[in-house]
Every structure is written in structure tokens, then in C-alpha cells.
Structure 1
Amino acid sequence: MNAYIKDIAYYLPVREVTNEAIVRDFPEWSVEKIASKVGVEKRYVAAEDETATDMAIKASECLFENGNIKREEIDFVMFCTQSPDYKLPTSACIIQHQLGLRKGIGALDFNLGCSGYVYGLSLAKGLIMGGIATHVLLLTGETYNKYLHPRDKGNRTIFGDAASATVVSTTGIAKIGEFSLGTDGSGAGNLIVKSGGSRMPEKQNDIRFDENGNPLSSDFLYMNGSEIFTFTLDNVPPLVNDTLVKNCLEKDAVNQFVFHQANKYMLNFLRKKLKIEPDRFYCCLSQCGNTVSNSIPIALREAMNDGTINRGENVLIAGFGVGYSWGGTVLRFL
């Protein structure tokens, strides 16, 4: 038995934040500088009362409207998020109820960031191959903007909110290959929101600003950009090579590389280091930003829509980031 992606859909919140809007808050920047350095022209931000769960439900409804799967066929729900509605209960249980799915199914959350979609595919494939499920609804959803300090101009230019819905099944449009996965928890402190969990439950109200005016606080997202960049350069090329080996492929046999859409500078650096031609390296972050675990499924959907990915092609996907965590696999489109 094999596991396949059957369909993908995604949802972006209504509120659109353009570079022009960001420049109004940070006049020392320019629209051109943001676009050239980060590669993002606009991003979408969840409403104050809109959660990752809300968006995952909307992405699921978009998927059901496509008509390739019926909601009564779903027999497992997995939700990847670092923005849960509550400490408990599990958001996937709420999603099962809100979508009107059957009660005799499994449902769980898992907490991962930029590698989350690849990890989710590996878990869904395991459920299919183990005969535990036949139609897994794999959801991703993030509202990182709720974790950003208003004066955090760097991260506000990068991150967008979004949700995606993918059906992994016994038949479909893309066969899921073998996986390469990795973890290095020593880098946990380089991309973190410290307060709000059991280790530090109360807000610390410890905001301060570095020499460049960037906010530093336990209560908001902190990202050590230089360390994240170093981690990426050290781990993504070996990840790509190991993914190729595990799938018995040469690099030239891959038609498209779809990486986590981190930022323009990082992606270009990785592409050149890996010696991948621009026309085989798909990027689409300009219109929605870095959407964390949603970036790969959004890119896959867009690449299918615009004809970049076609039947009979191999697509290598790679996610990497917070954790540290990374993962890759190859999708064979049928």
C-alpha cells in the first residue's frame, strides 16, 4: 500500500498588510528595501478574534468544496499549529465538531513550525500504511503575527498568517516518497516565545530594545536571525542530499524543489549553494509572506494552479526552522 496527496487547499485571512502600510509605521524603511531584501510584497494577518483553528476550518471547507473528498470519508484529523486556541482541549477535537465530521475518527494536534507540513505528511503516511486510516485530513494553521511586538519591524515584514488543508489517502494526485527528518533542540532558544507555557506561565513585561531598536521580550516572538541562517545553511543541503538518497534519485531527476518559504535572501542563498537552476526552484512568498507550516502546501497548490508542477514530475519538498527541526520528502505527481 502507498500513500498519496489527494488534494490541497488553503485560506488567507481578509486583512492585507502591504509594504506601504509597514513603511508608514517604520519610515526609515522603504517599500523597495523590504521587497528586495525579504521578497515579500504583502502578507495577511488574522483578525483579533480569528484563530488558527478558525482558519483551518475555513481551509477545510475550501477543500471540501473542491469535490475531491467528502467530509464523511475523513477518518483522521491532524492539526499542526503553534497557535492553539487553548492549552486544552486539543484544537483538532474542536475542528472535528465544527466541520461536522464523524465521531468515530482520530484527531490530534502536533506542535511544529516550518518543518510541520513535512512531518505531518510522514505521520499521515504512517497512518495510511499501517491501515489505521484511509483519508487523513492534514491541517496546518498559524497566527504568528499575534506573537509579534508592534515595533518588531524585521519579523513584521516576514511573517503572514494562514491555514492549509491536505487530504492524504490511498489514492491521489501525488505519491508520497521516503522521508529524511532531523532535530536539534540545542537551537530552541533562537526562535522562541518564552512566556505563556508551563515553564514561564505569566507574562514577564520585560520589554527592552537592542542597539538597533529591535524589541526583546519574553512575551513576544524572538528570532536570532544570524543563528537561524547558519542553522539553515548547515542542515538544509545535507537534508536535500539525504532525501535524494532515500528516494533513489539524482538531483537532475527532480523537476521542482519546493522549500519552506522563509525569505528571499535565504532561499536564493540555498538555491545557489545547492546549484539548483532558478526555473526548478519554486518561490511564491511575495504575495503572502512566510506562513510557517503553511508555506509548503500553499506553494504546492500555487505551483499546480500555474502549471509549474505537472503529471509525471518529481517534486522535492523541504521544511526547516524552529525547534530546530527539519524534514524532506519527494512527491511523485501522477
Structure 2
Amino acid sequence: MGAYIKAISYYLPEQVVTNEDLVSEFPEWSVEKVASKVGVNVRHVAAVDETAGDMAEKAAKKLFEEYSIDSKDIDFLLLCTQSSDYYLPSTACVLQHRLGLRTDIGAFDYNLGCSGCVYGLAIAKGLIASGIAKNVLLLTSETYNKYLHPSDKGNRSIFGDGAAACLVSTDGFAGIGEFVLGTDGNGANNLIVKTGASRHPGRTGLSIKDDEDHVWYDDYLYMNGGAIFNFTLEAVPTMMKQVLEKNQFLKEDVDYFVFHQANKFMLNTIRKVCGLPKEKFYINLENTGNTVSSTVLIGLKDCMENGTVHQNMNVMITGFGVGLSWAGTMLKF
């Protein structure tokens, strides 16, 4: 049985941080420098009392309203987040109740970041193909800004908070193709929040400088930008070729590419290395920033609303980053 995307919506928090706000804190920067390098003008930031679960709920309710979806038709709930509301229970279980879903359904969280949307589509497709579910609600929600140190101007310029909702069903507007998935835990320390979980439960207050003179705070998100950049340039071109082969496409057969919106510089480099034309390649972080697991769904929704992606198009989507992990597939609109 085939699996299709039937609906997409997303939610962004009300609070925003502009480039002007960042420059007022870090006067050694200029507004133009931030915009030109990372491609972000505005990023949304979750309120102090707003959780990933709250944002996922808002995205799901927006989806239900926008597409006139009856919540009782949902028979499986997936939530991708690295900012769960509790250690336990699963935030997906809490959302089942808050969204008014039936009790005879499956629901669970899975902990992935930048590749999480595509992984979720793979899980949803498997649930449908096996006959376990017919209507899978896939939610992605992240509040990375709660993990950022106030002095971490680099990551604060990149990351935005947000949530997306997608209904995967037995029919819809975009058929989901074959997947390429990858994992390399050897690079786990290159994008990590070290303390707070079972391995290092207590805050240490410690920090060191890495080879790029960036400060690594044990208690906040650390990203080795150079290592992540190198990983991406190694993994993504190979993944793209594998996705094409697995779905029996030539590169020329793909009408549009929606990749994880990491930052403008990285995306432009990927595009050039992969030999993709500008007019077929999505870059739009200006008003959202890097929303981690939600960038692909937000991008697809944006492309559908502005007419860039429409019926009878073949679209490649990919995610890559924290884990380290990567994933890609084809969508047939």
C-alpha cells in the first residue's frame, strides 16, 4: 500500500529575535554580516513557558483546522523532538490527550534533529505499508534556543524555534518514495548538549575552547561548525546519488530540491558541490532560521503556497546533522 503526504502546517512562536537585536548585544557584528553569512533576518523563539509539546499541539490544531481533519481519524501519532516536555512520559502520549485523539492508537516520541522529518516519513510509510495505521500524524517540534548560552552569538544567529505537522495517509497530494538513511555516531560530540541526561545528569558549569576558538559549554548546546560542515559535504552528495538510484531517477528528472535549511552558506556550498541549478534549489531561512527537524516541512509548505512546488513535480527532500545522521527520499506531487 502506498503512503502519501495529505496535509502540512506549521507553527512559529510569537517572540522574535531580529538581526538588529543580536547586533545590539554583539556590536562587533553588523546586520549585513549576519544576513549574508547565515541567511537569517528573523528567528522565532519559544516563550519561557512554551515547550516543544505546546508548539506541536498548536501546529497539529492548525493542521486540523486548515484541512478540515477530524482528529478521530488519526490512528498513530509520531513526535520528533530533542526538547521533550518530560523525561517521562513520552510527550506524544500527552499530546494524544490534548489533541483529543482516540485512545486505541499508537503514539511515541523519537529523538532526532535535522534528519528527523525524513526519518518520520519513513516510519509513517512503514506503519501504513504494514497495515498498522492508515492516518499517521507526524509532528516535529524543537526549542533549541533554550539550550543556547546567551554569549553564543554564532548559534543564536542560526537557530529558530518552531513546530510542523504532517498527515501521512493512504492517499494525498504527494506520494512518498524510497528512503536512504544513514548514521555515524562517531561524530556525536560535534553537536551535543552534554549535561542534563543520564550520562551527565548534573550541571558542571565548565567550558573549554575548541580548535576554532569557539567556547564549548558543558551545560549548553555545542556545535563544532567545521566538523559539521565537513560531514555534510561528505554525506549529502553521496546520499543524493543513492536517493536517485533507489528511486530510479536521473538528477535531471528532479524538478525541485528541498534540503534541510541549515544555513545559507552551507546550502549554497552543497548546491554547488552537487551541481544543482539555483532555480531548482530551495533556500529560505530569512524569517524562520534553522528550525531543526521542522525545516523541510516548513519549506515544502512555503513552496506549495507560493507555487514553486505543484502537481506533476518530482521533489527530493533531505535532512542531515545531529547524530550524526542523514536521510533522503523523493516525493511525487
TM-score, normalised to structure 1, is 0.98
Which residue of 2 is the match for residue 197 of structure 1? 197
After TM superposition, the structure 1 = structure 2 runs for residues 1-334 of structure 1, keeping only pairs within 5 Å, are 1-208=1-208, 214-333=214-333
SS of the residue aligned with 1:320?
strand
| Equivalent-residue separation in structure 1 for 2:217 and 2:229 (angstroms) | 21
| Equivalent-residue separation in structure 2 for 1:268 and 1:40 (angstroms) | 14
For the 8 Å contact 2:116–2:319, the answer to whether it is kept is yes
For the 8 Å contact 2:40–2:288, the answer to whether it is kept is yes
Tell me, which stretches of 5 or more residues in structure 2 are unaligned? none
Cα 1:131/1:212, change in 2 over 3 Å: closer
For the 8 Å contact 1:7–1:68, the answer to whether it is kept is no
For the 8 Å contact 1:42–1:287, the answer to whether it is kept is yes
| Equivalent-residue separation in structure 1 for 2:211 and 2:179 (angstroms) | 42
Once the two structures are TM-superposed, the CA of residue 215 in structure 1 deviates from its matched residue by 3.3
Query: Which contiguous aligned blocks of 4+ residues in structure 1 show a shift greater than 6 angstroms?
Result: 210-213
Cα 1:224/1:211, change in 2 over 3 Å: closer
Once the two structures are TM-superposed, the CA of residue 208 in structure 1 deviates from its matched residue by 4.9
| Equivalent-residue separation in structure 2 for 1:230 and 1:208 (angstroms) | 22
For the 8 Å contact 2:10–2:59, the answer to whether it is kept is yes
SS of the residue aligned with 1:205?
coil
Once the two structures are TM-superposed, the CA of residue 71 in structure 1 deviates from its matched residue by 0.5
For the 8 Å contact 1:78–1:139, the answer to whether it is kept is yes
| Equivalent-residue separation in structure 1 for 2:210 and 2:75 (angstroms) | 49
For the 8 Å contact 1:6–1:68, the answer to whether it is kept is no
- Give the counterpart letter for 1:23 in structure 2: V
Once the two structures are TM-superposed, the CA of residue 67 in structure 1 deviates from its matched residue by 2.7
SS of the residue aligned with 2:248?
coil
For the 8 Å contact 1:80–1:140, the answer to whether it is kept is yes
| Equivalent-residue separation in structure 2 for 1:282 and 1:111 (angstroms) | 26
Cα 1:19/1:71, change in 2 over 3 Å: same
Once the two structures are TM-superposed, the CA of residue 216 in structure 1 deviates from its matched residue by 2.1
- Give the counterpart letter for 1:224 in structure 2: N
Once the two structures are TM-superposed, the CA of residue 159 in structure 1 deviates from its matched residue by 0.1
| Equivalent-residue separation in structure 2 for 1:219 and 1:267 (angstroms) | 29
SS of the residue aligned with 1:150?
coil
TM-score, normalised to structure 2, is 0.98
Cα 1:187/1:35, change in 2 over 3 Å: same
Aligned-pair identity in percent equals 59
| Equivalent-residue separation in structure 1 for 2:193 and 2:180 (angstroms) | 27
For the 8 Å contact 2:7–2:67, the answer to whether it is kept is no
For the 8 Å contact 1:151–1:214, the answer to whether it is kept is no
Deviations 1:261-304 (A, max 9, x none): 00000000000111111010011111100000000000000000
- Give the counterpart letter for 2:325 in structure 1: S
| Equivalent-residue separation in structure 2 for 1:24 and 1:3 (angstroms) | 48
For the 8 Å contact 1:115–1:293, the answer to whether it is kept is yes
Once the two structures are TM-superposed, the CA of residue 210 in structure 1 deviates from its matched residue by 6.5
| Equivalent-residue separation in structure 1 for 2:67 and 2:261 (angstroms) | 28
RMSD over aligned CA atoms reads 1.1
For the 8 Å contact 2:188–2:324, the answer to whether it is kept is yes
Cα 1:186/1:212, change in 2 over 3 Å: closer
| Equivalent-residue separation in structure 2 for 1:212 and 1:236 (angstroms) | 23
Once the two structures are TM-superposed, the CA of residue 70 in structure 1 deviates from its matched residue by 1.2
SS of the residue aligned with 1:203?
coil
For the 8 Å contact 1:149–1:215, the answer to whether it is kept is no
For the 8 Å contact 1:5–1:168, the answer to whether it is kept is yes
Cα 1:210/1:134, change in 2 over 3 Å: closer
Once the two structures are TM-superposed, the CA of residue 68 in structure 1 deviates from its matched residue by 4.3
